[in-house]
Amino acid sequence: MAHAYTPGLKVTEKAVIRKTRRLPIPGEVLVEKGQKVSPDTIVARTSIPGNPQTVNVANLLGIEATDVPDYMVKKEGDFVEEGEVLARYTYFFGRFKREVTSPVTGTIEMISKVTGQVTLREPPIPVEVDAYIEGIVEEIIPREGVVVVTEGAFIQGIFGVGGETTGTIRVAVDSPDDVLTASHIESDDDGKVVVGGSLITSDAIQRCAEVGARGIVAGGIIDHDLVEYLGFDIGVAITGHEDVPVTLIITEGFGQMKMADRTFNLLKKLSGLRACINGATQIRAGVMRPEIIVPGYEGEGESASDDRYLSEGLVIGTPVRIIREPYFGLLAEVVELPPELQLIESESRVRVLKARLEDGTIVTVPRANVEIIEA
């Protein structure tokens, strides 16, 4: 295959960013093409049918299912309040009666003569989609949503938990090597996205939650700290829906890992600006990585676009990060790309590259074990 490497994560000052904001089922689009939107602008709305509830009237009244319609006080389509009588069965010349009341407020959707069940539908549940980022509505997807476009800084992490939120960036450590602890968190970090260095500790996460920080960005996290924060262990790499107070974005991986200088320096430049962040990660077909977007940031250089995904790949001089033992986490520059397969220590024959580490050492690694640090 032509591209036997892992496409890198984007860390760029200036990029064109497009976000598709789509409803789960058809509804109404509330904005127009060309309209300026902010993160909390509602761009589309719909309502999903309310929760259904079933009541087995035949069993509760002690009658045959086929007889249920005869004893219903309400009919299909009727609106009922919680506690209102749905069906009534009288016997012994009307002197005794049994009644079934509605467990919820809603509409009677179906009365079944086969099962004796009555289905009640609670009122519709409104669903809204916001713009998530500040930008311009570039495209309307009729009845489904919009595409919002913006230009600004764009940083991808490797793994995250927690959903979309916004906050002001504050870099809380001096260097990308530093460990972010509770002492770095200030009482006015309320509403902030706090940036750490090589590791985020369990007490720092706790402190961020206490002061009301919106997000944390750091190089690494220890496996059991993540489990402790979530209250459960993650088995499969699909995240973003966790019910957690602070969105977490890890840029390098598990364990203590220095944040890439490029990422750290850019986050420093972005200090004080409002960022839109999302911890959602999905590692499979349709890869989704956590992200930090700062709309409107006017960085230096040419604006990168999505077309970069189609870029050439590894060439001599490409900056890479090694992503597997024995050089896990080290940054390097490609110095040679031998075309033929080579034998590595594990005795696999694979395509390799030679790379110069930051300390000048030249190492050989499988091409599959590097990722390009994308501009």
Partner 1 sequence: MQEGKTVLNPDEINTVLATDCGSTTTKAILIEKVDDEYRLIVRGEAPTTVEAPYEDVTLGARNAIREVEELTGRRFLSDDGVITPTQPDGSGADIFMSTSSAGGGLQMMVAGVVKTMTAESAARAALGAGAIVMDVIAVDDGRKPHEKIQRIRQLRPDMILLSGGIDGGTITHVVEIAELIAAAEPKPRLGIGYKLPVIYAGNKFARKHVEEILGEKTDLRVVDNLRPVLEKEVLGPAREAIHNLFMEHVMAQAPGYNKLMTWTPVPIMPTPGAVGNCMQTAAKEYDMSVIGVDIGGATTDVFSVFGEYFNRTVSANLGMSYSICNVLLETGLPNIMRWIPFKMDEANLRNRIRNKMIRPTTIPQTLDDLIIEQGIAREALRLAFEHHKSLAVGLRGVHRERTIGDVFEQTGSGETYIDMMELGMLIGSGGTLSHAPRRAQAALMLLDAFQPEGETMLAVDSIFMMPQLGILATVHPKAAMHVFDKDCLVKLGTTIAPLGPSSSNLKFGEPCVTVTIEYNEQVIEESVPYGSMKVIKIPEETTVDAVIRPERHFDAGNGYGRVVETQVHGGVVGVIIDCRGRPTVLPEDPVLRNQKLVEWFKAMDMYPADLLDKYAAQGV
Give the residues across from 304 on adjacent strands: 15
Q: How far is the CB of 267 from partner 1 (least distance, A)?
A: 20
Instruction: Give kind and range of the element (H or E) at residue 268.
Output: helix 261-269
E-strand stretches of 33-144: 36-37, 42-48, 52-56, 79-80, 85-91, 96-101, 106-111, 117-121, 125-130, 135-141
Report the residue number, 231 or 326, with the smaller CB distance to partner 1. 326
Q: How far is the CB of 120 from partner 1 (least distance, A)?
A: 9
Report the residue number, 211 or 344, with the smaller CB distance to partner 1. 344
The token duo for 338 is 């031998």
Is the Cβ–Cβ distance between 102 and 80 less than 8 Å? yes
Report the residue number, 170 or 289, with the smaller CB distance to partner 1. 289
Report the residue number, 101 or 117, with the smaller CB distance to partner 1. 117
Residue 14 burial (10 A CB sphere; 0-12, 13-18, 19+):
middle
Judged by the rule CB under 8 A, the positions of this chain that interact with partner 1 are 1-3, 6, 22, 24-26, 49, 51-54, 65, 109-110, 112, 114-115, 117, 119, 121, 143-144, 158-159, 222-224, 233-237, 253-255, 281, 283-286, 306-307, 309-310, 323-326, 328, 344-348, 350, 365-366, 368-369, 371
Q: How far is the CB of 299 from partner 1 (least distance, A)?
A: 23
Report the residue number, 8 or 167, with the smaller CB distance to partner 1. 8
Q: Write out the DSSP string of 168-235.
A: EEEE-SSSTT-EE-GGG--TT-TTEEEE-SSEE-HHHHHHHHHHT--EEEEEEE-HHHHHHHHTS---
Instruction: Using alpha carbons only, give the angle 207, 208, 213 rounded to the nearest 5 degrees.
Output: 155
> In angstroms, rounded to a whole number, what is the distance separating the alpha carbons of residues 105 and 72?
17
Q: How far is the CB of 192 from partner 1 (least distance, A)?
A: 25
Report the residue number, 143 or 268, with the smaller CB distance to partner 1. 143
Q: Which of 21, 258, 241, 250 lies closest to 158, judged by CA?
A: 250
Q: How far is the CB of 364 from partner 1 (least distance, A)?
A: 9
E-strand stretches of 271-351: 274-278, 291-295, 319-322, 331-336, 342-343, 349-350
> In angstroms, rounded to a whole number, what is the distance separating the alpha carbons of residues 60 and 99?
8
Q: How far is the CB of 33 from partner 1 (least distance, A)?
A: 20
Q: How far is the CB of 48 from partner 1 (least distance, A)?
A: 8
Report the residue number, 112 or 168, with the smaller CB distance to partner 1. 112
Q: How far is the CB of 332 from partner 1 (least distance, A)?
A: 14
Report the residue number, 105 or 119, with the smaller CB distance to partner 1. 119
Residues 6+ apart with CB under 8 A from 28: 44, 45, 46, 143
